[in-house]
Structure 1
């Protein structure tokens, strides 16, 4: 077994790896950027090494600095986690060339599966069914457009080096193809340093089914059953579960055996995931499931597999990297119960899921679930990294039991002042289609409005908060013959509201002069009208402000242009994603303060629109 390990990652996955390594008696080394100097993974490791400034291209993506940190601390091996350099074959080879152990697949396997077009060709040769599409080297926009026309719309444009939902665009009509291609290529180049794309036929009623595979250096390959990751928003997984609802044993055998064949075709060693797209219009059937891609690393959603199999996949990784055979044979593995995982993000669903940055003054997660996180109360969520702050994982004897446990934990979550998607997750878990396992990757897109958390707490919660505010102000006493009901005016997120309440009942959390109201995973601050002010500005008066710090990558208008409601004005790149800012109404560009390539701060006025008469 390894004696020392450097984790070339940060946040939740670094903490997750450290936890297993400590249990196995392995010394751990963390790396960190300026922004992560006081991060939980840094404080959890036995040793930590600073590797550069906050941007990932100046720290976590610098393989030479990471290797140097491993050698200077005497680490035997490097675990890449997921994201960053985890699927970079050149980095994996550099680790091996430096005399260190790479906790991952052979570089040749990463290369074989790293480009989606080449991987699909390889899978076809191995007898693994693949989705119809275009995999050619000719990347001219005219050729890609012609191929898309031939496939038939809708089609999916995918970055060949992509992952995590980035560099992907669904195109519904030929007229939309050129703009979608340009946006996809630009995002792919920014995220992966490779703007090459492939095309796939968009599958009707698509379900995302993936199989966890594991290989060792002794030629053994097993699967640990499937996961369903169909609940997605813009190709980003939101809630994952294992096993897949509606999966019969014959179909499970077929898909899992295909996954093992795929892994064997590239002599796979370590943890990997074979991702399939299924046409769920007639239920899950072996002849309607096609290979999409292989992720040559540990997945974000690996905990649901751990929960139903009772296996620690990080321990498996470390044992295989040490040269040991797989801890279990295929016949030793079985499914126990059901597991679900929700990804808790610092983002605001009501504001288009924009990332929320700042200090976690309140960070309280519900009970009854496994929590994988890389932050604690008081931590700072910066604009430099992915905004996921925790994974909440429930396990139960049935799907309903796991879903109810997960819902209850998210319902009891209270985080402030950052906004989170907890309320959105609660709504998704309670949606009738999800409850009935009527799943496909378009569910959130279709039901988006129904999944939005409420804009304000209900009257009972507001009354409780009003009582707490009045009591905190020393006005809580009631006299004989005084009215039983009282009215008070307060500010809720800057909007004035009137609350009717009984001053003899109720409770809420007092936060200095204000009260935090938590309900359904959402948190609001209720402030007395006398001490709070209403901030002006915003899209309602035509002022388009930057919703977060970022870089302007496209400006679609000039001063004096006439614009229509919903027209794209500026594209901002932040938190590794593109965000389009659009016109709130018909009008004229009266002021333009955005230039391509410019860096902007949160709240910066980018465009001012004068409303049309």
Structure 2
């Protein structure tokens, strides 16, 4: 067995590999760039080596530096994780040439599957069904146009060296072909250094279904069933689940058998995924599922397979790389339950899913499912679902860590396993709802809205699901409901405020001014609210701040402050900066009269604009903000004195 392992990656996958390696008694070595000097994977590893500047092209993608780090630390093996150099055949060969164990398939297997056109020819020869199309070497415009016309529109143009949705164009009509071809080839050349393309029949109701396979050096190859990864945005996976909904046993047997043939055709060793495209217009049928490509590495979504099979795929990788046989035979691998995964990203759906970077000043992901019940409405009927199950979180960050602009902005993978698909969806929806991220923006609310969508719940899905349901999905952050503010306000009530609104034979009530993510809002509270706040929202107190999370949106709530700061006042007009940022507009001057809700100034932070408004009618008695100024969190930007009645 390998005794020491260098992980040639970062973030959550590096932490994932470290966890299993530690359980196996293997010493772990992390590598890190300037940006990752204090990263979680560096803190968790037994040893860490600096490999260069922050850009990946100068650090994580420089194979020579990684091999040198392995040699320097005496690492017996290198695990590439996914992304970066994980499917680089030349790097794999260089690792082996240096006398280091490569935790992955043989370089020849990686090369065989590296170009889509060559891989499809190989698969066709091995009896694996491939999508109808053109894979020829003749790349002349005339030949490609002729083949597209013969296939029939719509047709898909794909870069042979492509991936991640790059170098792909859908052509709906013959007159669009030349323009789309030129665009596709230009992008392919820029992204991959190779502008050759292939043509495929466009599938009208496509589902993305993939099979996890595993091989060893003893000639054994097994599959661990399928995953459905159809929920995608711009060809990037968003939610994955296993097993695929609607898959019958006969179709599963044919599909997984084809994946085994694909793996054997390239003498595959280690973990790999065979990806298929299914025409689901008439349900899942074996004669309507075709090979797309093979990923010669561990997949991002591998946890859902682990959860339904009970297998640790990283452990299998390390054992097979050490020369051992696959621990289980095919008939010993079974499906147990249903698992679903959502990718929590640092991005802002309201701003076109732009990445959101910065420090995670508050970050909390639920590690257990709260004992509540989830109501889902479908086809006009309301149903309640319990969701007893297992929560699994895979992340590479903790509170206080930074989301860097240099790398993929994934914060975490949220996984829930239950006995049924319905309970798995319900559980994951609650986990997304309860995920707290601040001030960095996240897609948690968007994920929640996907999961509770009736069409997804009923498995009416394809790869165009997100785009076709865009109007129904939560792209804007939810406004805080009044009951959430009222509950939070309880923490800020002073004896003076508790008498506000006092009347005989009535419970004391308070009216209190709050600053909520930069918005000035009023709350009304009684000491004993009539609703169960834990059913809807999570609250965390950090000093004088409250962080409330509701349906995937996180709110930082602080009381408005008076001049002396000794107590809270219902008439407080302090306008505080909700986060570090830049003042891009000032709409008032000192001495101006303002009305409740009037915009005072605009702050740009985390690539978003935040309008700060007057909490009530009054006068601007202090103004500390100027256009272009950089301000820190909780800086006093303005003060409003309430008008006398």
Same topology, TM > 0.5: yes
Q: 1:459 corresponds to which residue?
A: 482
- 3-state SS of the aligned residue for 1:419? coil
Q: Does residue 553 of structure 2 align to residue 518 of structure 1?
A: no
Deviation at 1:505, TM superposition (A): 5.0
Q: Secondary structure at the match of 1:437?
A: coil
Q: Who is 1:404 aligned against? A: 426
TM-score (norm 2): 0.78
Match of 1:501? 524
Q: How does 1:212-611 map to 2 (within 5 A)?
A: 212-368=212-368, 369-452=391-474, 454-466=477-489, 468=491, 471=493, 475-478=497-500, 480-481=502-503, 493=517, 499=522, 501-505=524-528, 509=540, 515-526=546-557, 528=560, 530-532=574-576, 536=584
Counterparts of 1:515 and 1:152, CA distance in 2: 59
CA distance in 1, matches of 2:185, 2:514: 48
Rounded to whole Å, the distance in 2 between the matches of 1:24 and 1:471 is 53
User: Does the 8 A contact of 2:489 with 2:525 survive in 1?
Assistant: no
Structure 1 residue runs without a partner (length 5+): 550-601, 603-613
- The whole-number CA distance in structure 2 between the counterparts of 1:133 and 1:548 is 43
Q: Which deviations, in whole Å up to 9, do the C-alpha atoms of 1:373-404 show, x marking residues without a partner?
A: 11111111011111111111111111112112
Name the CA shift for 1:467/1:151 in 2 (closer, same or farther; >3 Å): farther
Q: Separation in 1 of the partners of 2:406 and 2:173?
A: 35
Distance of 1:353 and 1:175 partners within structure 2 = 32
Partners of 1:141 and 1:460 lie apart in 2 by: 63
Q: Which moved more, 1:404-413 or 1:173-182?
A: 173-182
SS of the residue 1:30 aligns to: strand
Please, what is the CA RMSD of the aligned residues? 3.0
Aligned to 2:640: none
CA contact (8 A) 1:246 1:283 kept: yes
The separation in 2 between residues aligned to 1:2 and 1:382, in whole angstroms, is 32
CA deviations 1:32-83 (Å, max 9, x no partner) are: 1111111111111111111111111111111111111111111111111111
Flag the structure with larger Rg.
2
TM-superposition CA deviations, 1:100-119 (whole Å, max 9, x none): 11111111111111111110
Asked if the contact 2:498/2:510 (under 8 Å) is kept, the reply is no
Q: Is the 8 A contact 1:457 1:517 kept in 2?
A: no
Report SS of the residue matched to 1:252: helix
How far apart are residue 411 of structure 1 and its match? 1.3
Segment drifting more, 441-450 vs 189-198: 189-198
Match of 2:79 in 1: 79
User: Cα 1:208–1:51, aligned 2, differ >3 Å: closer, same or farther?
Assistant: same
Equivalent position SS for 1:6: strand
1:185-212, Cα deviation, whole Å (9 max, x unpaired): 4554555444433232221111111111
1:137 match: 137
Cα drift, residue 5 of structure 1: 1.0
1:35 aligned residue:
35
8 Å CA contact 1:363, 1:376 repeated in 2: yes
Range with bigger deviation, 173-182 or 413-422:
173-182
Query: SS of the counterpart of 1:531?
Result: strand
User: So what's the TM-score if we normalise by structure 1?
Assistant: 0.82
How far 1:451 moved relative to its partner? 1.5
Q: Could you tell me which residue of structure 2 aligns to residue 608 of structure 1?
A: none
